[in-house]
Each structure stands twice: as structure tokens, then as C-alpha cells.
Structure 1
Amino acid sequence: MDQSNKINRREFIGSAAAVAATISIVPSHVIAGSGKIPPSDQITVANIGCGTQGLREMGDLLQNPKVRVVAVCDSNKYSTGYIDWSANGIRKVLGDDTWWDNVPGIPGGRDVGQAYVEQYYGKNKPAKKYKGCASYEDFREMFAKEKGIDAVKIMTPDHTHAPIALAAMAQGIHVVTHKPISNRLLEGRKVIEKAKETGVITHLLAWSDRPEYRQLKAWMDEGLIGDLTEIHNWSYRPVWQQWTKRPTEPKPIPAGFNWDLWLGPVPDMPYHPNYTHNVFRGWYEFGGGSVADMGHYSLFPLFETLGITKSPLSARAFGTTSREEINQVYQWVKNDVAFPASSMIKWRFPEQAALPAFDLFWYDGGMKPFACEELEMDGRDTPEEGLMLVGTKGKILGGFRGENPVLLPESKMSQRPASERIDSRAVVRNTDAWVEAILSGQQTPGSFIRAQTITDTINLGAVALRANKKVDFDAATLKITNDENANKFLTRDYRPGWEI
């Protein structure tokens, strides 16, 4: 088709609304349910994934007058084995303290997601009822039937992020996803290339605007720490159980749960509850471990601020394991299925446009760097979580995401302007940047096309853990150059029909 004859989804909806307006005038509160913004000016969103985090974040979608949730999708119909991290968040959003109060446990699944959406929008209806949120088990069926979706929000386990994002972008649908883009490096690259090819708006939710990082960059630009040599980042995660072997005892698949669909691209394996819900992150097949869960939040905006656009040259990792008794002797358990309970990863980065070559260190599960000399001078230890930049002349320390950054030793701060003291608790974060981006047709700072370095970095760390050796990476050929066998960890064996 000639480019001049193309019309995008938003332009089509806007044109259709303009034509409709010449035929009849309908009060906006009847159309939109919000009483403020008519549907032609709203982004129609399908929420894929109605589990713990999907439902926790759905309230923000519902309360945003520029968004309209028109469909939900989840391979689970309904169950009560979820976690509530938000202190009855659904009840607060609905203003209903009786929300499913007769249900034991924490409910989740597509039935719950649909009920949540329709009860919220029904609050603004005269009869307090609303029916306008479609519900699907399979995202592929949803894309085939729902032609009015502007954007999808992907809130599923990590291993299905890539196939859902690719399917959406193939139809010109904008994509917002929880981290990671994919838990395999080659999949992540293909998703990013698809984003560039289609030009749809994409957004990785781990991005956030961080004035703390702009401050530490200003200190670096002033030469206060000299040339950057190391970045250290550490988290107390994981906060979920992680195993060293696959479960062997058979378990029945719960009613209403499509286990084959939940597996998605992963080859067949027997169902077990140790794989699903909040614990999926610990498995190499389904998750990305603590570094994918948390490292995106701290490192993605840091990479953006410092101009780190070239992927690492190598990675080396160590992880704790466990031991089992064999003939009254405790022996190490070979773990090739799950992330360790704690780990340390070191990446070597090449010279960047404005930075020399440097090393990045990650620690989790209680591991962290020893207190540096400057902290010991102040009688302090390394905090439980943190971010530290080390240069040839000094250091900067902040919270895990750089909160409340200070020069070390902190006595240096007495010589600095008061404006350089940032109270991170008072900083307002724009978590809906993707909404404005879609409405304006402009990519966000958290776009997939800006996330190649962080995606490569996180997934290369997992490769190093699984290879149990230093791995050298060629970002141009997408190969591990010093261990041919380690290349299998860049991708996965695909279930037939799910190949990427």
C-alpha cells in the first residue's frame, strides 16, 4: 500500500468519531462512563495478566480518565491462591469494603479482572451497572476478535512477554509491558527490532524519571569522582521461594486453568503450583531472577542518564546453592533449573560515548559489597540495598534506585549547595508517561527501542549464571565467543507453534 493511503488505528478512531459527531450528539458521560472524556479521546487498553501484579496495577488504569480498559485476558479463569501486596487495593479503588469479602484467600484470574473493571465503570452509571469489558483466555483469540484495541498492557510471567508483544505489534497495537521485555537475549532483540520496524509506541514499565540520576551525572560531569571505573547495585531480593530441582510429585491442573497456554513457548512439562503465581521468577524457564525483577528499575534509567548504549563485552557470575545428604555426607546440588538463592554478577562494559570502559556489579539475596573506606570513616556499613558509583577520585552512594544520593565521604556534602540534597520521598514519579506518549504519537523515554542495552545486560547475566564461567559476548553477531555451548542459553527450545 502506498504510504499516503495508510491510516493508523488512532487516526481511524478519531475520524470515525468525527463522522459520528455530525450525526448525533450524545452526552459524554453516557459514552465514556467517566463523565469527562469521550471515548474518541481515550486509549482503549487490553490488560493481559490478571494475577497479583496485574490486578494491583489495574487500579491506575481504571482511574486514569484518558484510558479505557475494554478487555482482560488470563490463562486462569479464577482461583484464590494469589498474594495481595497492596493492602486491599481493589477495595480502595472501588470504594467498596465488601469486595468479595466472602472469598477465602486472595482471588485472581480473568473473572476477577473483568468484575473489577465492570464494577469500577459501573459506579458512574445511573443503574450502577456496566457491561463492556470482554474476557479472554487466549491473547491470540482476543487479537483476532477485538479490533478496537489501541494498546495492551502485558502483566504475565516473564516467559510470555515476547510472544504477546510480537503478536500485538504485528497488528499495529501499542505495547506496554512489565519487565523484562523477554527472559531470553535473542527474543529480546527480536522484540526490539519489531518495535523499530512497526513504529508503534512501546514502553517498558521499569523506566522512571529519576532526578537523582541527573544529580549524580552532574557531579560526574563536574569531575567530582574522576573517571567512572565501577557501578555497584545490590538488592535483598528474592522475596519468593526458589528451588534447586524440579518438583516430581504429580499435581492435578486446577479447574479453569489452561496450563498449556500458561506454558506458552516452553516445552511440555507436568503442572505444579511451584511454577506459577509469584514464584515463577525463580525458574530459568519462566523468570529472570532477582536481577530481572529489580535490576531493570535501577539500571535502565541509569543507563539512559549516563548514555550507556553499548552492551557488555563479558559477564561472570557466582551463585549460592544448597547441599543434600548422600550416605551421611552433604554434597553440592547441581542446579541447572533455577536461579540461586543469592548471586553476584560482574559485567565488563566497553568505552561509551562519554564514559571510559567500566565494570558493573550486581548482588542479591543478602550479598552486597563490603563497606568502602569512606563509609568506614563515617562509622557506617553498606546499606541493605544501594547503588554506588566508583571513580578514580571519589564515590557516590544512593539507595537502590539512587535515592537520596550523596558524595562520599558524606562530609563533602556540607560544601555543596543545599539544592543538591534530594529528598526522594518528595519526588513525584510519572508512571503514566506511556499514556501521553500514545496520545501524542511520540515514543517514551522507556521505549523498547531504547532498552537494548539493559535487556542484553540482564539476560547475559543469566547466561553467565547458567554457564558457570566467564562468557564473552559479541553484541554484533549475538554470540558467546568463548563457549559454544553457552549460546543455547541465549534462546530456548520452543514448543511447536510458538517459535520466535
Structure 2
Amino acid sequence: MAGRRISRRRFLGTMATAGAAFTIVPRHVLGRGFVPPSDKLNIACIGVGGRGAWNVRGVSSENLVAFCDVDDERAAETYRAFPNVPRYKDFRVMLEREGARIDAVVISTPDHTHAVAAMMAIQMGKHVYCEKPLTRTIYEARRLAEAAREKGVVTQMGNQGHAGEGTRQIREWIEAGAIGTVREIHFWTNRPIWPQAIERPLEAYHVPPTLAWDLWLGPAPERPYHPAYVPFKWRGWWDFGTGALGDMGCHIMDAAFWTFDLRDPVRVTAETTPVFPETAPLVSRVTYEFAARGNRPALRVVWRDGNLAPPRPPQWEKDRPWPPMDSGQMFIGDEGVLIAGTYGENPRLVPESRHQEWIASAPAPRYPRSPGVYQEWIEACKNGGQAGSNFPDYAGPLTEMVLLGNLAVRVGGTIEWDVAAMRVTNIEVPEEYIRPAYRSGWQL
């Protein structure tokens, strides 16, 4: 991240783009702290309501040159905040028409549209920031990682905890021996906080006038509109989302994935409440088994959702409630226990006396600190290098590992995975669970 800043003119090799950018510099950057328009990225945003509105604000230090959203009502807050930015409903049209002046794209759509939007941007040579999980299926994650590497674009997945202080502390403390050798890791969450374990609704509804339903469906199989899907409730439907594990796994499992290189589990076993054909179950417990690798021993990693919690560790003080948070992560070593929040925040050794003892003598930070999930991506786009959760080296493999849990959930048992062949070896699994088919007009 410490590379020499280069001018936008040199970065893009064109004065035309810099000239176009000049006309939309936000008023708040003028005067003190003025940043020349030629030093800013031209960013287009796909999905600007809900989480997308948050991401728009996250990159608003740059030039926002185009917005796309299929729902005018959902996007209204962003449209009011940036009234002069051109608006589109179809990201394919936006990228085709505005492509010459776009440097980078931020994608904040539902999971099922991530891959097709990101791939189109990557193939056009645009840098990409995409919300977690990177994709809805394993095949899509693999393809995006390959394409990003081939095109040499700068990418970042929106698992913001990977840029946080806590995630770095977890790795540093474990590597420094704070809890000894780790052989067991537990994750838990209160998700789902949306309806799932339900059948497809049959009632007929008119599509709201502000919503382009066909474009919202995008590559997913056609079905009638129903308020059971939008907004936000799409997460529990397999055609659109990835359930509690997909929603939160890329956050809660991130520190462990980074610290222990949790790629390629030898088997994954799911235990759940009743499985429905189209929606995720109410409660899941998913166990990943990882073989020993290098200096790392074999690891057992357990995910729990639906408000399931792991067993209370014996070191936990008896007068403190368990679990200590709605969603979290726990590392069990042969010399202690480390617990942290959803994003790796506030890591603590157990008991509290052990934590205070450790803090008093903890080693100096080993890993570089990040300016934040947005800024590290923006700086890499401008100066070269890659962001921490880039698609080829990190976000793609992390997403694959997380989604293997969903694969086990959907088949209702144990799977063994051939990572090179991208297939389950011990049982038959429907191809569309791994490699989806898309509706006509949509492609990866």
C-alpha cells in the first residue's frame, strides 16, 4: 500500500476521462484537503439501496459516475444524496454506455447477481469491489478468481473484518502462542433473521411500480413476484441467497481462514432441522474436517446458526452469561481459549485474568494495519498491488470453503470434496448446486 501515488492521467492514459471526472467532483472536497479530480477513481455502483447505500458512502471520496438499481424506492436515499449521477436499471446497459469513463465497479446486489455483474466488469478491465459472499455457488467463485487473475484487475470482497484490527490481533496472538496449539474452532450466529424453511408462496401479487422484477431476477430461473423475496428476505431462498452460512460465514470464519489457511476440507458434515427444497433450514450445525498441513495439526471446525451456541468452555467465568454475544468465534488451544466477535472485533483470552496477563506482555504487531476495506481497495486501484480480500488469492477460496457447508446442508449429510475437479466424490449431487445454469440473456 505504500507505493508512490501516480496521477490519474498516467494511470488511465487518457485526458478525456480525467476531464469527464472534473465535472462531478463533490462540493465537500473543495477547499482544504482538495484532491484534484485527476487523482480520483471513476466508480460505478450496482445496487445502491440497503447495503449498497452504505457502500456508496464508503467510496464517495472518489468520483461516482453511474448508479444502477432495479428498485427506485430502495435506491431513493442514494439518489437524493447524489442527484446528478446518471441512473440505470440494467447494469449491462450501464457498463456498455458508461464503460469508457468507468475505472471501477462496486457491486451490492443480492448474491445471485454477484457473479454475472462482477464478471462483466472484470472482462471489461474494471476493478471490482463486491459484497460478501463473493458468489452464490462454488463454480462462480472459482471463475471470478480465475478471471480477476487473468485480467490483472484490483478486487476486494466486502468482508470488512479482514481489514480490521481484531482479525490481525487474532492471528498475531495465536501465532505467538497465546493459547497453545489449536485443534478446534467454533463459530455461531443468531442468523437467520429472515424467513426460511418455507415452501414457495402461491399467492398472486402485482409487481410494485418502482421495481423491475425481471431485472431483479437476473440470471435466476423465472418466477412470479412475491413480497416473500424482496427486500432482504431473498437470503433464505437458494435461487437467490446462501442462507445464514453464506451471509455471515465470510465474516465470522475470516480470521480462522486467514490464520490457519482453511482451504480444502477433507469432509464436511451438516446436521439441520428439516430440509426444504427451495429454502435453507431454520437451524444448522456444519462440521468441517481439515487434514494436518505443514506445522498445522488436523483441525475440527464447527459452524452453528439459528441461535445454536457452542459448549461453554471450562475456563469461562461461571458468573458471566454464555454465549457472550449473538454471533462470534472461539479458538480452543491446548493452553487456553480465545473468543472474538463477528468481525474479529474485541478478541479476548479466557479467563479475563489470562487476557490481562497477555496484554501486559503481548508481542509487537506483526502484520501491516489497513486503512479500511474501502480505502485499501481504492489505494491499490491507484497505486498497484492488491487488496487484502482480493478474489484470486483470498475471497474466492474463502467463499468456496464457506459454500461447501451449504452444499452439505442441501444434500443433508456428509460430502467429500475434490477441489481440483470441483466435485463431490462420495455421493451424487445435482450439478446446479455447484455450477448453475442461467436464464437466456445472462451469462458468466
What TM-score does the superposition give when structure 1 sets the normalisation length?
A: 0.78
Corresponding residue number in structure 1 for 2:234:
280
Q: 1:148 aligns with which of 77, 96, 101?
A: 101
| Counterpart amino acid of residue 441 in structure 2 | G
Deviation at 1:193, TM superposition (A): 0.6
Corresponding residue number in structure 1 for 2:5:
none
Q: 1:408 aligns with which of 327, 338, 350?
A: 350
Contact 2:263/2:397, CA 8 A, preserved across alignment: yes
3-state secondary structure, aligned to 1:230:
strand
The farther-off stretch of 134-143 and 223-232 is: 223-232
Deviation at 1:445, TM superposition (A): 0.8
Larger-Rg structure: 1
Q: Which has the higher contact order (CA 8 A, sep 6+)?
A: 2
3-state secondary structure, aligned to 1:484:
coil
Corresponding residue number in structure 1 for 2:378:
435
Describe the shift of the 1:379–1:56 C-alpha distance in structure 2 as closer, same or farther (beyond 3 A): closer
Contact 1:114/1:134, CA 8 A, preserved across alignment: no
What residue ranges of structure 1 are gaps of 5+ in the alignment? 1-8, 21-25, 80-107, 119-130, 322-333
Contact 2:257/2:263, CA 8 A, preserved across alignment: no
Deviation at 1:484, TM superposition (A): 1.7
3-state secondary structure, aligned to 1:69:
strand
Corresponding residue number in structure 2 for 1:249:
203
Corresponding residue number in structure 1 for 2:407:
463
Contact 2:189/2:328, CA 8 A, preserved across alignment: yes
- Once the two structures are superposed, residues 386-422 of structure 1 have per-residue CA deviations (whole angstroms, 9 ceiling, x without a partner) of 2111123332222233333233333323433436499
Corresponding residue number in structure 2 for 1:179:
132
Corresponding residue number in structure 2 for 1:388:
330
| Counterpart amino acid of residue 400 in structure 1 | T
**Is 1:447–2:390 an aligned residue pair?**
yes
The farther-off stretch of 334-343 and 264-273 is: 334-343
Deviation at 1:292, TM superposition (A): 1.8
3-state secondary structure, aligned to 1:373:
coil
Describe the shift of the 1:377–1:437 C-alpha distance in structure 2 as closer, same or farther (beyond 3 A): same
3-state secondary structure, aligned to 1:203:
strand
Rounded to whole Å, the distance in 2 between the matches of 1:253 and 1:319 is 34
Rounded to whole Å, the distance in 2 between the matches of 1:476 and 1:428 is 32
- Once the two structures are superposed, residues 139-189 of structure 1 have per-residue CA deviations (whole angstroms, 9 ceiling, x without a partner) of 111111112001111011000000000000110011001101101011111
Describe the shift of the 1:399–1:315 C-alpha distance in structure 2 as closer, same or farther (beyond 3 A): same
- Once the two structures are superposed, residues 410-455 of structure 1 have per-residue CA deviations (whole angstroms, 9 ceiling, x without a partner) of 3323433436499xxxx99613221111111221111111223311
3-state secondary structure, aligned to 1:416:
helix
Describe the shift of the 1:38–1:453 C-alpha distance in structure 2 as closer, same or farther (beyond 3 A): same
Rounded to whole Å, the distance in 1 between the matches of 2:305 and 2:42 is 38
Query: What is the Cα-based RMSD across aligned positions, in Å?
Result: 2.8
Describe the shift of the 1:116–1:30 C-alpha distance in structure 2 as closer, same or farther (beyond 3 A): closer
Describe the shift of the 1:431–1:222 C-alpha distance in structure 2 as closer, same or farther (beyond 3 A): closer
- Once the two structures are superposed, residues 64-99 of structure 1 have per-residue CA deviations (whole angstroms, 9 ceiling, x without a partner) of 2xx0111100122x23xxxxxxxxxxxxxxxxxxxx
Q: 1:116 aligns with which of 63, 81, 88?
A: 81
| Counterpart amino acid of residue 42 in structure 1 | K
Deviation at 1:265, TM superposition (A): 1.3
Give aligned-pair identity as a percent. 34
Q: How does 1:206-217 map to 2 (within 5 A)?
A: 206-207=159-160, 208-217=162-171
Q: 1:363 aligns with which of 304, 316, 321?
A: 304
Q: How does 1:87-106 map to 2 (within 5 A)?
A: none
Q: How does 1:220-259 map to 2 (within 5 A)?
A: 220-259=174-213
Deviation at 1:229, TM superposition (A): 0.9
Rounded to whole Å, the distance in 2 between the matches of 1:312 and 1:11 is 44
Deviation at 1:301, TM superposition (A): 4.1
Describe the shift of the 1:143–1:376 C-alpha distance in structure 2 as closer, same or farther (beyond 3 A): same
Rounded to whole Å, the distance in 2 between the matches of 1:263 and 1:44 is 28
| Counterpart amino acid of residue 221 in structure 2 | P
3-state secondary structure, aligned to 2:429:
helix
Corresponding residue number in structure 2 for 1:97:
none
Corresponding residue number in structure 1 for 2:421:
477
Deviation at 1:290, TM superposition (A): 1.6
Contact 2:283/2:305, CA 8 A, preserved across alignment: yes
Corresponding residue number in structure 1 for 2:49:
51
Contact 1:136/1:142, CA 8 A, preserved across alignment: yes
The farther-off stretch of 244-253 and 451-460 is: 451-460
Q: How does 1:73-88 map to 2 (within 5 A)?
A: 73-76=68-71, 78-79=72-73
Corresponding residue number in structure 1 for 2:3:
none
Deviation at 1:377, TM superposition (A): 5.5
The farther-off stretch of 199-208 and 389-398 is: 389-398
Corresponding residue number in structure 2 for 1:317:
270
Deviation at 1:54, TM superposition (A): 1.2
Contact 2:110/2:240, CA 8 A, preserved across alignment: yes
Deviation at 1:307, TM superposition (A): 4.5
Deviation at 1:31, TM superposition (A): 6.0
Deviation at 1:233, TM superposition (A): 1.1
Q: 1:265 aligns with which of 219, 244, 252?
A: 219
Rounded to whole Å, the distance in 1 between the matches of 2:25 and 2:282 is 51
Deviation at 1:264, TM superposition (A): 1.2
Rounded to whole Å, the distance in 2 between the matches of 1:19 and 1:10 is 7
The farther-off stretch of 479-488 and 228-237 is: 479-488
Rounded to whole Å, the distance in 2 between the matches of 1:194 and 1:232 is 33
Contact 2:255/2:344, CA 8 A, preserved across alignment: no
Rounded to whole Å, the distance in 2 between the matches of 1:499 and 1:18 is 29
What residue ranges of structure 2 are gaps of 5+ in the alignment? 1-7
Corresponding residue number in structure 2 for 1:101:
none
Corresponding residue number in structure 2 for 1:346:
287
The farther-off stretch of 378-387 and 294-303 is: 378-387
Rounded to whole Å, the distance in 2 between the matches of 1:493 and 1:191 is 16
Deviation at 1:495, TM superposition (A): 1.3
Corresponding residue number in structure 1 for 2:119:
166
Contact 2:221/2:239, CA 8 A, preserved across alignment: no
